[in-house]
């Protein structure tokens, strides 16, 4: 992908290669289905079907924590979360509050039609390794610059994640990095039959 950073605003689509822009446009236009019987959220619940598309970045006031191999890998009260229709929230922790000495960059990359190109990181503590346990966006697209210098962890690839002291479980399916806490109401993308959501 060829692009230059735009100060304070992230990369702009007009500066990407024609092929990359075409792929992003295709992904953004993919029709999304909706299950027939999405339950209404009750008090203190959030439905993933009320989250927007394109995704929204939100500040998180609660303490967010990641543990692996007996260590606290990250802990912050300055996290961000990205919410998108049908998915559990993805938590982004400031890089300077992550034990980055335990992270090794991987060659794999992926493209999000909204946020840009993700880089993956393997987590190593002693003799324990979790491949592609985290990811980041070094040069996010316009509108997502807030997640620059942040890392997101897959809840299923570490030993424990929590938000406000409440344990989080992985979003179903293993592909998405959302964290499911008790107030999050589905159905959530990743369950069998959700390929068109």
Chain segment 99-108, per-residue pLDDT in tens:
999 999 999 8
CATH code, 78 = 2.170.150.40
Give 144-193 pLDDT, tens digit per residue.
999 999 999 999 999 999 999 999 999 999 889 999 999 999 999 998 88
- 4 in any annotated domain: no
Strands 160-163 and 64-68: antiparallel
Section 8-28 average pLDDT: 81
pLDDT band of 12, cuts 50, 70, 90:
confident
Asked if residue 15 has pLDDT above 90, the reply is: no
Q: Give this prediction's pTM.
A: 0.90
- Radius of gyration over alpha carbons of the chain, in Å? 17
Is 115 inside any structural domain? yes
Structural domains in the chain (count): 1
The domain of 152 spans: 13-33+47-185
Answer whether residue 144 is part of any domain: yes
124 is a domain residue = yes
Q: With b meaning 16 or more CB within 10 Å and e meaning fewer, what string describes 147-172? A: bbebbbbbbbbbeebbbeeeebebbb
């Amino acid at each position: 992908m060829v692009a230059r950073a735009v100060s304070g605003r992230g990369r702009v689509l007009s500066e990407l290669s024609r092929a990359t822009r075409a792929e992003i446009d295709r992904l953004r236009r993919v029709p999304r289905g909706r299950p027939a019987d999405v339950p209404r959220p009750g008090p203190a619940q959030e439905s993933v079907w009320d989250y927007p598309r394109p995704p929204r970045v939100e500040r998180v006031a609660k303490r967010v924590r990641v543990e692996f191999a007996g260590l606290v890998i990250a802990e912050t009260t300055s996290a961000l979360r990205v919410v998108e229709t049908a998915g559990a929230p993805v938590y982004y922790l400031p890089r300077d509050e992550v034990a980055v000495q335990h992270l090794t960059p991987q060659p794999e990359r992926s493209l999000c039609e909204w946020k840009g190109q993700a880089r993956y990181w393997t987590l190593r503590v002693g003799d324990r390794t979790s491949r592609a346990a985290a990811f980041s966006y070094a040069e996010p697209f316009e509108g997502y610059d807030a997640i620059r210098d942040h890392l997101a962890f897959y809840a299923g690839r570490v030993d424990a994640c929590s938000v406000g002291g409440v344990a989080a479980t992985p979003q179903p399916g293993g592909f998405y990095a959302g964290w499911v806490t008790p107030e999050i109401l589905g159905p959530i993308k990743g369950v069998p039959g959700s390929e068109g959501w």
